[in-house]
Structure 1
Amino acid sequence: MSDIEVSVVLPAYNEEDTIEETVSVTLETLASFLPAGSFEVIVAEDGCDDRTPEIASRLAAEDDRVRHVHSDERLGRGGALEYAFQRADGGTLVYFDTDLATDMRHLEELVESVRSGAYDVATGSRWLPENRADRPARRGVPSLGYNTLVRAVLRSKLQDHQCGFKAFDRDAMETLAPMVEDEHWFWDTELLVKAQRNGFRVKEFPVDWTPKGDSKVDIVRDVFGMGSQVLRTFWELSVSPRITRRVSLGAGTLLVVVALLLMTQYLDPRTVLERMADADPAIVALSGAVYALSWPLRGIRYRDILDSMGHHERWEFLTGAVFVSQTGNLVFPARAGDAVRAYVVKARRSIPYPTGFASLAVERVFDLLTITLLAGVVLIGLAVTGSADTLFAALAGDAVGGDTASSGQTAVVVAAAVGLAAIGAVAAIVASARTDRNFVRAGVGRLSDDSYADYVAGVIEGFVADIQTVTADGAAFVRVGLGSLLIWSLDVLTALVVFRAFGQSLTPSLIAVGFFAVSVGNLAKVLPLTPGGVGLYEGAFTIIVAPLTPVGVTTALSIAVVDHAVKNAVTVVGGIVSMAWLNVSLTKAVEESRNASEVEPEAEA
C-alpha cells in the first residue's frame, strides 16, 4: 500500500521554459510542511510538441517524488487533469497552474483544507475582498463578467471559478468526475458548481495572484466554448429536471395560446373577416385543405434529409416535429422555433444537436433555392412577354400607394438578397463537398489556438459534413429537391385557390404572376423583420399582383391577407394536434435523452 497522501498534478502543455523550475519550487514547498515520502508531483504532459516530455521524463528519473504522465493527443485542461488524477496515489488531489501565478505560500492552506478532512473541495480565489490579486483590465473585466454570469445563471455561491489553484478529496473527485462533461477550460467551473449542488463541502479562500504571460480574449474559447457550456449546464441542472409531463403539456398549450394571441396582433381578425366576406367561404376552406397537403410532404422530405445523414425515422413523427417548430416560429423571434425541432428530434430520437441543426440548414437551403428558382423562371417569362418593365416601374413608382408600397419595396429587396444568398450557399456547399481542403479547421485556427478550438471545430465539421452528405448524394439531392418543388408548388396553389375565392379567373398570366408574387413574399419572410413575416409578405404580394393583373390594389391586398391567414391558421392547428400527440412522448424523450447521454456524450451547446 502506498504511503502517498498528497498528489500534486501540474498540467503542462508546451512548458519547456518553465516546467523544471515549477517542479523544483513545488517539491520544496511541499517538503516544508509534509512528511517525507507522503507526497508526489505528477507532470500531466498533454500532447506537447516541444521539449516538455523529455524534461518531464528526466525529472522523474532523477527524483522518485516526481512522475511523468504522458498523453499522445491533447486531452484539454480538464481531460488531462482527470487522466492524471486517475493515476495518482494520494488521497488528497491538488493541481495548480505551472506558471505559479498564485503565491506558493498558500499551498499549505490549500492542501490541509482537504487533507484534514474539513472540506471536500478547496479553491483559491482572486475575487474575495481580502485578497491581493493583480488584475489588469484586460484580465479583470472578462473574469469578473464570467464569474458574475456563472453565479447568476448556475446559482454558484463562489466568487472565482477559474483560479488554477484547487484541491479535492479523492472520494469526492471520484464521485464528481463522471458528472463533469466538459474536458477543457470549463471543467473547473462545472466541477465546482456540481460539487455545491451535490452537497460537498467547498472552501474558497483568498490568494495573492500575479498574472504571468500574455492574456487576450479568445472568441472560440470565451464565447463558443465557455459561453455554450454555461448554457448547457444551466439546461442540465435547472431546466431538464423540471420537464415533467405536466410541464410539457403546459408549455405546449402556452406555445399555442401565445401563437394565437400574436396572430390577433399582427393579423386583425376583423380585417380578415371583412375581407373574407367578399370571398367564397367554401373555396377559402378548400385553400386550407390544399395547404394542409403540403405538410405530410414536409415530413417526408425531412425524412429523406435525415436518411441521407444516417438517421432513419418515420415521416409521421417528423411531420409532427415540423408542425411544432413552425408554430414556434410564429411565436419566437429570429426563427428560434427551429431550435424546438432540434430539441424534439434529439429528445425523442436521440439525433445529435449538430445533426438536427444541419438537417434544418439543408431544409432551409432547399426551400430558398426552390422558391428562388420558381421566382426566377417566372421573372424570365415576364421579361419575354414584356411585362417585366411594368413590374420594375411598379416597384420604383407609385402603382401601389401608402404603407403597402413601402413594405412591398422593402420585401422585394429582401427577397432578392435572400435569393442570391441561397444560390451562393448552395454553390459553396457543393464546391466544398468536392474538395479535400478543411476550411473549418483553417477558419477556426485563425481565431484561436486554444484547446477549445479543436472541440469547436469538431462540432462545426460534423455540422458541415452532414450538409455536404445530402448535397454530395445525387439521389438524395434529387429527392429532396423534388419534394421542395412539390411543397412550394402547393403553397402557390393555395394562393391561387384564394384568388378563385375572390372571383378571379385563373388565366395563364395570373397564374404566372401568382407564382412570382408568392415566391417573392416567401423569400421576404425568411428574414424575421416582422412577426410571422406579416406585412412584408402582403406588401410584396400586392405590389407585384396589382400592376401586372386586372386585380385591383384592395383586392390584391385582401387576397394576400386571407392567403397568409389561412396558412398561419393551418400551421397553428397542426401545432395543436402535434403537441397533443407528442406530449406523452416528449416526457419519455427527456428520460431517453438522459439515458442516451450516458452512452453518447456529445456536446449540447
Structure 2
Amino acid sequence: MTPPTVSVVIPAYNEGVRLPAFAEQLTRVCLVTPSPVLELVVSDDGSAPEHVEKERASIEAAQARLTGAGSPHRFRFVAAERNGGKGSAIRLGWRESDPRAEWLAFLDADGAVSAEEFLRMATLATTTPDIDVVVGSRIRMAGRHVERTLFRHLQGRIFATLTDMRFQLGYYDTQCGAKLFRASMLRPLLDRLQEQRWLIDVELLVLMGQQGARPLEVPVDWADTGDSKVRFGVDAARMFWGLREMHRRLNRPQ
C-alpha cells in the first residue's frame, strides 16, 4: 500500500447529512488528482447512532470507489465512545493515522473549504520545502470567493484580534477549518495538546510557533454552510475565557 503524504483528519459530530456529500466531493477530486497521496480519516466525535451509521456507510462507499479505481488515496473511519469536542476528535484521528505520513492535517466536515481548495493547499505544502505550517485564511480579496454572514465575519475578526493580543501569532485568520502541519515537528507535540474544542487551532499554532515552525497563510475560497455548531454567546464567552487560560498554561515555565 502506498504510504500517504498527508494524513487528514475530518472531525465529525452528527454529520450524517453533510458528510456523505463532502465525501463524494473528496472522492471525485482524489480520482483525478493522484498526488499528494491522502489518507482521509473521518473521526466521529460520539455522534448519535443514526449519524454514525450514515457517516460510516458513506466512507465505506467512498473507499470502495477509490479501491476499484486503483487510487492510492484512502478513507478510514474511527469513532470515539462519547462526545469530547473538535480538538478531541482531531487528536484521536491523528493517533490512528498512518505514522509514515509527512504531513498531518485537519479539514472541517461541512465542506466550507472545498475538496479542490484543500488539494491546492496540500499540494502547496508538499512541494514547498521551506514551510512547516499551512493555514487556510478567509480573506476577501481579488481572485478569492468568501461567502460569510456579516455577524460571523465580525465575530471572527474580534476573536482574531484578541488572539493576536494574547499570542502575537501574526495570522489574519486562526479559525479557518483547514490546516496542515509538518509531521516531524507536530508528532512530538501531540501529547502536549489539551484543548478539547475550537481552541485546538490556536493551541497548535502557538506550539508550532514555539518550535520555530515556518508558517504560510493561504487565502482560500470559503462558503458559509449556514449550520454552525458554535452557539451564540455561550461558546464565544468560553473561547474568550479559554484564550486567557491557554496563555497562562502555554507560557508557564517548563
Give the TM-score of the pair, scaled to structure 1: 0.37
Shift of 1:128: 6.3
- Does 1:72 find its partner at 2:81? yes
In structure 2, what is the equivalent of residue 188 of structure 1?
A: 201
Deviations along 1:341-387, one digit per CA (max 9) or x if unpaired, are: xxxxxxxxxxxxxxxxxxxxxxxxxxxxxxxxxxxxxxxxxxxxxxx
Alignment of 1:80-91 (within 5 A): 80-89=89-98, 90-91=101-102
How far apart in 1 are the matches of 2:46 and 2:217? 31
How far apart in 2 are the matches of 1:233 and 1:13? 24
Which of 168, 176, 190 is 1:177 aligned to? Answer: 190
Which of 101, 104, 111 is 2:122 aligned to? Answer: 111
How far apart in 2 are the matches of 1:72 and 1:8? 21
In structure 2, what is the equivalent of residue 219 of structure 1?
A: 233
How far apart in 2 are the matches of 1:234 and 1:94? 23
In structure 1, what is the equivalent of residue 5 of structure 2?
A: 5
In structure 1, what is the equivalent of residue 53 of structure 2?
A: 54
Shift of 1:182: 0.8
> Contact 2:167 / 2:247 at 8 angstroms: preserved in 1?
yes
Equivalent residue letter for 1:40: E
How far apart in 2 are the matches of 1:114 and 1:51? 36
The residue matched to 2:147 in structure 1 has which SS?
Answer: coil
**Distance change in 2, residues 1:60/1:106 (3 Å):** closer
Equivalent residue letter for 2:217: E
> Contact 1:7 / 1:42 at 8 angstroms: preserved in 2?
yes
The runs of 5 or more residues in structure 1 that have no matched partner are 242-593, 595-605
How far apart in 2 are the matches of 1:60 and 1:236? 38
Shift of 1:153: 1.5
Deviations along 1:430-472, one digit per CA (max 9) or x if unpaired, are: xxxxxxxxxxxxxxxxxxxxxxxxxxxxxxxxxxxxxxxxxxx
How far apart in 2 are the matches of 1:55 and 1:107? 23
In structure 1, what is the equivalent of residue 70 of structure 2?
A: none
Equivalent residue letter for 1:55: K
Relative to total residues, which structure has the larger helix share, 1 or 2?
1
Shift of 1:13: 0.7
- Does 1:123 find its partner at 2:122? no
Shift of 1:81: 0.7
In structure 1, what is the equivalent of residue 71 of structure 2?
A: none
Shift of 1:68: 1.0
Which of 110, 121, 129 is 1:99 aligned to? Answer: 110
How far apart in 2 are the matches of 1:217 and 1:45? 20
Shift of 1:165: 0.9
Tell me the number of residue pairs that the alignment of Structure 1 and Structure 2 aligns.
239
How far apart in 1 are the matches of 2:192 and 2:164? 19
In structure 2, what is the equivalent of residue 207 of structure 1?
A: 220
Percent identity between matched residues is 26
Shift of 1:152: 1.3
Relative to total residues, which structure has the larger strand share, 1 or 2?
2
Shift of 1:235: 1.8
Flag the structure with larger Rg: 1
Moved over 6 A (4+): none
**Distance change in 2, residues 1:144/1:229 (3 Å):** same
> Contact 1:128 / 1:159 at 8 angstroms: preserved in 2?
no
Deviations along 1:123-150, one digit per CA (max 9) or x if unpaired, are: 1001365543222222011110000111
**Distance change in 2, residues 1:128/1:134 (3 Å):** closer
Shift of 1:164: 0.3
- Report the aligned-residue RMSD: 2.3
How far apart in 1 are the matches of 2:124 and 2:147? 24
- Does 1:18 find its partner at 2:18? yes
